[in-house]
Amino acid sequence: MSETTIHAPAATPGDATPEHAPATPQPPPAPRSADGAPETRNARFFRMAHRTRLHLYALATVLLVVYVVALATSNTRRVKVDWVFSSSAVPLVWLMLFAAILGWLIGILITVLFRLRTRAPHQPATEPASAAPVSPTA
């Protein structure tokens, strides 16, 4: 006796049988918080906004560094500085850097002084009721 084998027809590109169906892309899994719950829409918005702010800070820092380097290279000539009792010639870039650092330090000093003078008065801690001295009864 001969055995007869039945073969399934070969799949063509247009066939949509389950075993030959093209793989559908699955969305990535939703990020989860520390407790394992899915991230809410509000939390995702704040996370993405924070990331955008960090990128903007990085861009602003790079632009500031580029500006400072360009400013320093364009101001290399020497200028005469008249002090009260004498005068000297210094490169303009060093004079500008000195003035910027001095202004920054004065700004920090003024901020600290204002904060110290305008903060709320210190309130002494109150003692708990159980720590109050007990008067002897006679």
Model confidence pLDDT, tens digit, residues 101-110: 999 999 999 9
CA distance 96 to 94: 5
* Long-range CB pairs of 49-55, under 8 A, 24+ apart, other chains included: none
pLDDT at 38: 82
pLDDT in tens, 23-47: 677 766 666 666 777 888 888 898 8
Beta carbons within 8 Å of 11's beta carbon, 6+ residues apart: 17, 20
pLDDT in tens, 111-130: 999 988 887 777 777 766 66
pLDDT at 49: 92
pLDDT band (50, 70, 90) for residue 80: very high
Locate all alpha helices (DSSP H) within the chain, ordered by sequence.
41-74, 92-118
pLDDT at 131: 57
Torsion, Cα of 27, 28, 32, 36 (10° steps): 80
pLDDT at 41: 87
